[in-house]
Structure 1
Amino acid sequence: MDTSQLFQCLKKNALKISIHDLMKAKAYIEYNNRNLPEKYQKEYTQKLFGYIFNTLVEIKNKNSVDSVEHIDENIFRDLVEKINRLNENYSSEQKIFNRIIKIVSLYLVFIAKKPIHPESMIFPGGFKITKESGVYYCPVKDKQSGIEFALCDFCVCRDKEELETY
Structure 2
Amino acid sequence: MPLFRKSEPARSLDTADPISRQCSELKAAKTRGELGMGIARIVLAHSPKEIQQMKRNFDTKVLDLPAEYRDRLSARITEHLLGTFQRIRLDDQQGILKTLHQPLSEDQKNYWDMVGRQCSGEGEADAPALRFLKYLLAGYCMLVLDEPGHPPGTPFPGGDEVEFTNGIYYCPVRDREGDVDAALCPWCPARQTPQIGYLRPATRPTERNKQELIDNCYRYHNFNG
Asked if TM exceeds 0.5, the reply is: yes
Q: Is the 8 A contact 1:146 1:153 kept in 2?
A: no
Matched, 1:73 2:106: yes
Indicate if the aligned counterparts of 1:137 and 1:157 stay in contact, CA closer than 8 A.
Answer: yes
Q: Residue 84 of structure 1 aligns with which residue?
A: 116
Q: Secondary structure at the match of 1:70?
A: coil
**Structure 1: any 5+ residue segments left out of the alignment?**
none
1:16 equivalent to 2:45? Answer: yes
Q: Which amino acid is the alignment partner of residue 39 of structure 1?
A: E
Establish whether residue 140 from structure 1 lines up as the match of residue 140 from structure 2: no
Q: CA deviation at 1:135?
A: 0.9
Structure with more of its chain in helix, by fraction: 1
Shift of 1:74: 3.2
TM-score with structure 1 setting the length = 0.86
CA distance in 1, matches of 2:130, 2:81: 10
Aligned residues: CA RMSD? 2.3
Provide TM-score, normalisation by structure 2.
0.65
The share of aligned pairs that are identical, in percent, is: 20
The structure-2 alpha-carbon separation of the partners of 1:61 and 1:160, relative to structure 1 and needing over 3 Å to count, comes to: same
SS of corresponding position for 2:126: helix
Unmatched runs of 5 consecutive residues or more in structure 2 = 1-29, 201-225
Quick check: which has more Rg, 1 or 2? 2
* Cα offset, 1:20, TM superposition: 2.9
Instruction: After TM superposition, give the deviation of residue 164 of structure 1 in Å.
Output: 6.0
Q: Within the alignment, does 1:160 sit opposite 2:189 as a pair?
A: no
Aligned length: 164
- Which residue, out of 89, 96, 99, partners 1:64? 96
Cα separation, partners in 2 of 1:89 and 1:8, compared to 1, 3 Å: same
